[in-house]
């Protein structure tokens, strides 16, 4: 009887202690112990340094998405500055395409729009690769996706601006393969994840459910990262 009583006490102590221990591991004295996401694009070694455990480590200059000026479905000029402090989920499209890949990309974006509708730290953007897409055309697409500007922006711009943001900044492929009778573009269906500093933190294939689940997880990682930076005053 005495043995059973001691056994019950040990089980009770274990049940009470494990959650606290896990919380300690996750928090690590106030710091989240998640694995940081990679930062994509070319990198440069800076002339400045930071200290890690007394050792001087060279700073790294990471690739940033350049600011731009594109027009959204409401006719408003939109730039990265408009989304300051937000995690951005972004894809490419154009209004005259209706391929399976394009449908899956938009379906994925629509799902994230619904999922993060009330989270002010997450913003969605869909950029048309066709400079001939006009305001009426993208407004119709945005309406069909139940997209509200300032939360999910559908964007158009001229050829120069689009090449700058799509190819040079987002590091995506988009090729004009149009003929005299048909507007046709070959472009990446990957969804891009940007952090609040406008660095690329991930590329995700829109047709791959596992990749989309990973994107959802990594959006949450960036939200936690941003909240920690705000708390630390960074």
pLDDT single digits (tens) 157-180 = 999 999 999 999 999 999 999 998
Q: What does the pLDDT look like over 121-151, one tens digit per residue?
A: 999 999 999 999 999 999 999 999 999 999 9
Residue 19 has pLDDT above 90, yes or no: no
Is residue 129 domain-shared with residue 196, that is, in the same domain? yes
Q: Does residue 50 fall inside a structural domain?
A: no
Is residue 104 domain-shared with residue 218, that is, in the same domain? yes
Q: Does residue 224 fall inside a structural domain?
A: yes
Q: Does residue 53 fall inside a structural domain?
A: no
Note the pLDDT of residue 91.
98
Give the whole-angstrom CA distance, residue 155 versus residue 150.
11
Between vectors from CA 166 to CA 172 and to CA 128, what angle results, nearest 5°? 110
Q: Does residue 41 fall inside a structural domain?
A: no
Q: What is the end-to-end Cα distance of the chain in Å, rounded?
A: 58
In CATH, what number is assigned to the domain containing residue 68?
A: 3.40.30.10
Q: Phi and psi (nearest 5°) for 197? A: -95, 5
Q: Does residue 47 fall inside a structural domain?
A: no
Q: Domain range spanning residue 17? A: 1-33
β 122-128/152-155 pair status: parallel
Q: Are 153 and 124 in contact (CB under 8 A)?
A: yes
Mean pLDDT (the chain) is 86
Is residue 28 domain-shared with residue 112, that is, in the same domain? no
What tokens were used for 14?
């274990």
Is residue 28 domain-shared with residue 94, that is, in the same domain? no
Which uninterrupted H or E stretch holds 71? strand 70-71
Is residue 29 domain-shared with residue 127, that is, in the same domain? no
| Residue 145 neighbours by CB under 8 Å, 6+ apart | 106, 109, 110, 113, 152
Is residue 100 domain-shared with residue 205, that is, in the same domain? yes
Residues for the chain: how many in total?
Answer: 234
Note the pLDDT of residue 48.
84
Q: What domain count does the chain have?
A: 2
β 200-205/190-194 pair status: antiparallel
pTM here is: 0.81
Is residue 7 domain-shared with residue 90, that is, in the same domain? no
Is residue 8 domain-shared with residue 81, that is, in the same domain? no
Q: Does residue 29 fall inside a structural domain?
A: yes
Q: Does residue 127 fall inside a structural domain?
A: yes
| Residue 103 neighbours by CB under 8 Å, 6+ apart | none
Is residue 195 domain-shared with residue 114, that is, in the same domain? yes
Is residue 29 domain-shared with residue 84, that is, in the same domain? no
Note the pLDDT of residue 32.
46
Is residue 87 domain-shared with residue 160, that is, in the same domain? yes
């Amino acid at each position: 009887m005495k043995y059973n009583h001691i056994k019950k006490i040990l089980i009770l102590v274990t049940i009470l202690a494990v959650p606290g221990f896990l919380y300690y591991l996750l928090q690590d004295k106030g710091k989240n112990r998640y694995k940081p996401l990679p930062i994509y694009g070319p990198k440069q070694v800076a002339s400045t340094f930071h200290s890690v455990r007394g050792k001087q480590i060279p700073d790294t200059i990471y690739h940033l998405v350049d600011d731009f000026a594109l027009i959204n479905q409401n006719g408003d000029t939109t730039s990265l500055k408009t989304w300051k402090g937000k995690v951005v989920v972004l894809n490419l499209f154009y209004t005259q395409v209706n391929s399976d890949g394009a449908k899956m990309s938009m379906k994925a974006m629509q799902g994230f729009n619904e999922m993060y509708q009330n989270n002010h730290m997450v913003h969605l953007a869909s950029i048309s690769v066709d400079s001939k897409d006009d305001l009426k055309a993208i407004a119709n697409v945005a309406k069909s996706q139940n997209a509200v500007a300032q939360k999910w922006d559908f964007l158009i711009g001229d050829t120069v601006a689009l090449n700058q943001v799509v190819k040079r900044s987002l590091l995506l492929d988009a090729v004009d393969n149009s003929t005299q009778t048909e507007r046709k573009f070959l472009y990446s269906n990957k969804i891009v994840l940007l952090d609040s500093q406008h660095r690329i933190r991930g590329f995700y294939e829109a047709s791959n459910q596992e990749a989309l689940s990973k994107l959802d997880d990594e959006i949450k990682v960036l939200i936690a990262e941003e909240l920690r930076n705000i708390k630390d005053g960074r």
